[in-house]
Amino acid sequence: MSGGAGGRVSELSIWRSGRLGAVLAAGACLLFATAAGAGTGRLLSQWMNRAPRIDGQIAAGEWDAAKLVDLGAGVTLRIGNDGRTLYLAILDSADPVFTSNDSVGLLFDDEGGVPPILDDGAFGSVLCHPTPDLGEGRIDLTFSQEVIYQEVPQSGFCLEQFITGATSFRSALRSEGLTYEAAIPLDGPAPLQAGPGERFGVVFLIYRDGGPVVCLPDCATVSGPADYRNLVLASGGCNTGPQDFGSGDPLVGLPLDWTSENTAGGGPGWVQVPPAQFGDPVFCQANDTGGAGGAACVANFFCTAPRTDSLLRMPLALDGMTAATVRARAVLQVAAPHEYLDVGIRRLDTSGNSLLFWLDENRNETVALWIPVAGSPPVEFWFTHSTFSGGGSEGGYAQIDDVELICGPRIFSDGFESGLTTHWSADSP
């Protein structure tokens, strides 16, 4: 292939060696991006508190916490992560025979961007690296139970590298279909380098009988990394320490897997603020919680209606946990009657529980709130600020900082979750 901006790369099929069979049909070309830019869409990985057993059996209890995506054509994809590992499970229910022409490919773009947005819509490597722990490119999960990596530089080709020992992978033919399970370390010897709350570009390609039966985002229209799907890694989980809001860099913003919205009124809602030594918390220009970095903040002044409710949603996974507590720094400054800060949970069945409710009082405290885990699983934290003095009025605001989940029992430690069988933890069962 030729390099440089606008240079054409041949079809995706040339990325696969003869051992893996011919693939994409003519016309599905891969081009270099001519300008830096993000991928398309938003795919959210979900936090997994328990590491699944990588044995080619997609047991329901092991993958309940993962994101389930129906790709069509009888293929489903499950995606999850913890602090160090990306977990993937693929089921091809329409493939009754397992041959050397069946496999899964993962293209990824994780270089050149500014964290937490790692993808820049272009290939970042100038030269091929001699070891597989650097560089964006392609990972193949193969019929032979091997994991193969091929780096993609700005020009030319890089040799395939076998990284079977640097990942955990197993595929199998079962009664429900052909299954693939993989645990890919995000901070170790595997080429994919990312972390919780970060985003990179991906393409998933599922091959059946030598051809791509289904892809995400699409088998035919991906023309380069700028067309990859944005995969956002879940940013929090149990016993991972406090989740802060960075340095206040406006390019970073709130964690990528959190959602800020207005359920009444309007305005920017919850935003990230700088550390305490800068600006005025009344205008979300300073952290008033006592935390070291930034905080999440909503200010009455920026609300566009007198009654405005601002909701901040944080994904929550308590799979396998019997006890859970959330600890956070919380601030409420009221400017008119009936203003409040509510911290609650929402469950899979859409029911909810309020864990904290401050009404018509100025508070600045570190709170520890017990989470009932019985019943329908909790799936989100809801931080809601309600003001009746919006529309440009000054004085009132709310802030949240250093959100930490403390759960029990702790099932596995990071060494096991990395998928490397040489790193067993002392406290694993």
pLDDT in tens, 329-371: 999 999 999 999 999 999 999 999 999 999 999 999 999 999 9
For residue 387, the surrounding DSSP H or E stretch is: strand 378-387
8-232 folds as Immunoglobulin-like (2.60.40)
Dist CA 380 CA 377 (whole Å):
9
Domains of the chain, by residue range, sit at: 8-232, 259-408
Q: For residue 386, give the nearest of 345, 338, 328, 422 by alpha carbon.
A: 338
Q: Report which of residues 160 and 125 the model is more confident about.
A: 160
Task: Classify burial at 169, counting beta carbons within 10 Å of its beta carbon; exposed 0-12, middle 13-18, buried 19 or more.
Answer: buried
Q: pLDDT, tens digit, for every residue of 90-138? A: 999 999 999 999 999 999 999 888 888 999 888 878 889 888 877 899 9
Dist CA 246 CA 411 (whole Å):
28
Least-confidence region, from 7-11, 161-165, 255-259? 7-11
- CA-angle at 56, arms to 55 and 58, nearest 5°: 105
Dist CA 207 CA 185 (whole Å):
23
Dist CA 25 CA 273 (whole Å):
49
Region of residue 190 (phi > 0: left; psi between -120 and 50: alpha; otherwise: beta): beta
Confidence of residue 61 (pLDDT cuts 50, 70, 90): confident
* 103-109/271-273 β-pairing: unpaired
Dist CA 66 CA 237 (whole Å):
13
259-408 folds as Jelly Rolls (2.60.120)
Is the model's pLDDT at 267 over the cut of 50? yes
Q: pTM here?
A: 0.84
